[in-house]
Amino acid sequence: MSDAWIYGTDGGEETSRLLAELGFSPHRVAANGTLRPPEGESRAPALALVLANGLEQPSCAELCARLAADDELGEVPVIVALGSEGLLEGIGVAEGHELLVEPFTAEELQARIARARRAVNGIDHDDIVRVGSLEMNLATYQVAIGGRPVDFTYMEYELLKFLVTHPKRVFSREALLNRVWGYDYYGGARTVDVHVRRVRAKLGSEHAARIKTVRSVGYRWEGT
Amino acid sequence: MTGREEFVLRTVEERGVRFIRLWFVDVLGLLKSVSIPVSELESALEEGVGLDGSSLEGAARQREHDVIAHPDPRTFQVLPWKPDSLVARMFCDVRQPDDGPFGGDSRAALRRVLEQAAALGYTMQVGCEVEFFIFGPLGSNGDVPTTLDDGAYFDLTPLDVGSDFRRRTIEYLEQMGIPVKASHHEVAPSQHEIQLAHTDGLSMADSISTFRIAVKEAAHELGAYATFMPKPLAAYPGSGMHLHISLFEGDRNAFHAAQAEQPLSPTGRAFLAGVLAHATELTAVTNQWINSYRRLATGFEAPEHVSWTRRGAAALVRVPSRRPNRAERTRFELRSPDPACNPYMVLSLVLAAGLRGIERGYELQAESIDDEPDGAARLPLDLREATDLFDASELARETLGDRLCDVFVANKRRELDDERRTVTEFDRARYLRLL
């Protein structure tokens, strides 16, 4: 299940409930300067929701800027939720990838999430990423090329998923190790090269070249 | 439930997998499998599956005792050679019913040594060249097998069944996540070599186990039989399994020398010195069958002495020349192992010997030039000598534990006893008329 992190000074119970109904695992983050929930979640969430109402230190703009600048959270889709008074003052209107005005319904939340994930990660509303004949279904962990299933191991799948949903950005081996493997690996930084090679072999000629090796830096996914 | 387990359960459901094979290896590296239906998968992931631990003891099996096989969801993979009824496999960690370590599991032993290396900041990378033969269908035990590409076995495809076979094998391997670097026909008729791209030690040992079954499956589909027997044909070279070994500290190859004139860094030299210092004790695992020594005895590029070189083909270890802009490729090539070894035991001991060389600052012996051994120690001549050296090896006992060592030695002594009692072709050819 994908994590969703909720930033706010108070409230948010209703938003948590709605996110849980949509299949996310919600975690509250006290917006007092930290960017991560207290439970020590190691992986970046699928989504960040900023409840802009009452945010002062840091301001909504500061918080969004810090999220964007964070090594691990930089490409998390950010949705900013505002009260209508915030809308009048223009605070937070320009921040994040999507805007929500309170009160909002579950349907609207779902639609805004889908738009933000589509814009940032290329994930369609049905949780499928489509790149040419490649289809990656994030809900069922299945990958198909031209409708034919391709069987990945878990780590190969996780690596491909990360690259595919973070297109056009170069990631160092170190960054990929931290973000895809966490601390659960034996092979050291070379593990990344080994897995890239395996994933390319399984992807076959049409898609293998989409994983670009950026010499002495790392890897980049070219979706288009 | 972790993401890995959810991945396994979901994939089984989505892909319509019918059975899951839980794989583990015995002390000799032979792959064992317990098949479970999908309905048992969730409980197998949570609690493991009970086994008779003596099934890991090879031929020296004694009394039954319970152990638990815990499937490792990271190794979940649909098998490509069963397209009609989907079957997947997972490698298992074997533990005691109270979840304590089980001393008879060589895969666990390798994990332990890899963890020790990781605690020192090192990860081992291993590449591997595996040689093997494919023959026509086997006759009765003891018959000389038919080679496929000297025209003797013509009812298979008329051209080169070998290249067909290699293509199919490579497809299987790539679908199993075992990338192949190269493949070619070997020196002997019916002999092939496939090079596996480097990976970490545990993945390589798992890959070699998977490789052997994938090759056998691909051969079987073509009506042929693949064997990793080290020396099946007297007149031709045997099959070796050269291991390419390097050690990384993070992104940096710890074997790469700063000075151009050195083939290896000080760390690399000490590691190699450790491997050479313990090479005679390791021979029982790199070459664990009576037949292994027939390969070593006849030359054909198989090593007989404890030596290293940058050139030449007869040394135990070859160190490829240093390439300034290719630091990640610096490595040494260990040439004694054969493809019928237990890769978990071999990699455990090679790594442990190398780490000992680093820890104790072993000095690397002089390079052997032009294949002259220069008074270098010789490798054991046969399995008996090798087993005695292994049995007395403090490094082996410390690395593998007494249980694994004792069971291994018991297996080897039994094999030697069986051979001692056997009257062979050699006996009759040599003695029947003479005496």
pLDDT (tens digit, 0 to 9) for every residue of chain A, 224 residues total?
A: 588 998 887 667 888 888 998 888 888 887 677 888 877 666 788 899 998 877 777 888 888 888 888 878 888 999 998 887 777 777 777 788 998 888 888 899 999 998 998 888 888 888 899 999 999 999 899 999 999 999 999 999 999 999 999 888 899 988 888 888 876 565 677 888 889 999 998 998 889 999 999 988 899 999 77
Instruction: Tell which of A3, A140, A141, A183 to mutate to test the B interface (max B CBs under 10 Å).
Output: A141
8 A C-beta contact, residue B76 and residue B11: yes
In a domain, B235, yes or no: yes
Interface residue ranges in chain A relative to chain B, Cβ cutoff 8 Å: 140-142, 149, 151-158, 173-174, 186-191, 194, 197-198, 201-202
Same domain, B87 and B171: no
Same domain, B136 and B172: yes
CATH of A128-221, one of 1.10.1740.10, 1.10.10.10, 1.10.3660.10, 3.40.50.300: 1.10.10.10
User: Does the global pTM surpass 0.90?
Assistant: no
Q: What is the DSSP letter of B305?
A: B
Contacts of A141 in chain B (CB under 8 A): 6-7, 10-11, 14
In a domain, B107, yes or no: no
Stretches where chain B sits below pLDDT 50 are: 151-159
**Hey, what are B99's tokens?**
């979840």
Is A3-121 assigned to CATH 3.40.50.2300? yes
User: Per the CB < 8 Å rule, is B14 touching A141?
Assistant: yes
The answer to whether residue B394 neighbours chain A at the CB level (below 8 Å) is no
In a domain, B105, yes or no: no
Predicted confidence at residue B154, as pLDDT, reads 36
Q: How far B22 CA sits from the closest chain A CA (Å)?
A: 15
Contacts of A202 in chain B (CB under 8 A): 174-175, 177
User: Per the CB < 8 Å rule, is A186 touching B200?
Assistant: yes
From B52, B73, B100, the end of a domain falls on B100
User: Per the CB < 8 Å rule, is B77 touching A153?
Assistant: yes
Same domain, B414 and B282: yes
**Hey, what are A138's tokens?**
């994030």
| Closest residue, chain A, to B248 (C-alpha) | A188
Contacts of B75 in chain A (CB under 8 A): 153
| Closest residue, chain A, to B181 (C-alpha) | A197
8 A C-beta contact, residue A223 and residue A166: no
Predicted confidence at residue B155, as pLDDT, reads 40
Can you spell out the DSSP letters for B129-169? EEEEEEESSP-STTPPPPBSSSSSSTTS-SS-HHHHHHHHH
The answer to whether residue B245 neighbours chain A at the CB level (below 8 Å) is no
Contacts of B177 in chain A (CB under 8 A): 152-153, 156, 198, 201-202
In a domain, B139, yes or no: yes
Same domain, B190 and B319: yes
Same domain, B95 and B148: no
| Closest residue, chain A, to B122 (C-alpha) | A188
User: Per the CB < 8 Å rule, is A153 touching B197?
Assistant: no
The rounded distance, in Å, linking the Cα atoms of B261 and A52 is 63
Same domain, B302 and B184: yes
- How many domains does chain B divide into? 2
In terms of DSSP bridges, do strands B49-52 and A3-8 run parallel, antiparallel, or are they unpaired?
Answer: unpaired
Q: Could you give the C-alpha distances from B359 to B122, B351, B353, in angstroms and in order? A: 12, 12, 10
**Hey, what are A79's tokens?**
């949705």
Same domain, B119 and B39: no
In a domain, B252, yes or no: yes
**Hey, what are B178's tokens?**
């075992």
Same domain, B9 and B90: yes
User: Per the CB < 8 Å rule, is B10 touching A140?
Assistant: yes
User: Per the CB < 8 Å rule, is A151 touching B80?
Assistant: yes
8 A C-beta contact, residue B77 and residue B7: no
Beta bridge partners of B249: B252
Can you spell out the DSSP letters for B232-287? --TTS----EEEEEEEEETTEETT--SSTT-SS-HHHHHHHHHHHHTHHHHHHHHS
Predicted confidence at residue A218, as pLDDT, reads 92
Contacts (Cβ under 8 Å, ≥6 apart) of B32: B23, B24, B25, B26, B55, B56
Task: Tell me the pLDDT tens digit for each residue of A93-144.
Answer: 778 899 888 888 889 999 999 899 888 888 888 889 999 999 999 989 999 9
Predicted confidence at residue B136, as pLDDT, reads 83
User: Pick from B7, B14, B125: which is nearest to A154 by CB?
Assistant: B7
Predicted confidence at residue B395, as pLDDT, reads 97
Question: What are the domain boundaries of chain A?
Answer: 3-121, 128-221
Predicted confidence at residue B370, as pLDDT, reads 67
Q: How far B272 CA sits from the closest chain A CA (Å)?
A: 20
In a domain, B27, yes or no: yes
Predicted confidence at residue B181, as pLDDT, reads 82
Contacts (Cβ under 8 Å, ≥6 apart) of B433: none
Predicted confidence at residue A14, as pLDDT, reads 84
Same domain, B138 and B78: no
Same domain, B79 and B31: yes
- Scored b (16 or more CB within 10 A) or e, A133-151 reads ebbbbbeebbbebeeebbb
Instruction: Quote the domain boundaries for residue B363.
Output: 113-428
Which CATH number characterizes residue B219's domain? 3.30.590.10
User: Pick from A140, A153, A188: which is nearest to B76 by CB?
Assistant: A153
In a domain, B108, yes or no: no
User: Per the CB < 8 Å rule, is A190 touching B248?
Assistant: yes
Contacts of A197 in chain B (CB under 8 A): 179, 197
Predicted confidence at residue B153, as pLDDT, reads 39
Instruction: Tell which of B8, B123, B210 to mutate to test the A interface (max A CBs under 10 Å).
Output: B123
The answer to whether residue B183 neighbours chain A at the CB level (below 8 Å) is no
Same domain, B283 and B137: yes
In a domain, B244, yes or no: yes
Which CATH number characterizes residue B51's domain? 3.10.20.70
User: Per the CB < 8 Å rule, is A194 touching B74?
Assistant: no
From B74, B100, B126, the end of a domain falls on B100
Q: So what's the ipTM on this one?
A: 0.81
The rounded distance, in Å, linking the Cα atoms of B221 and B210 is 17
Predicted confidence at residue B371, as pLDDT, reads 59
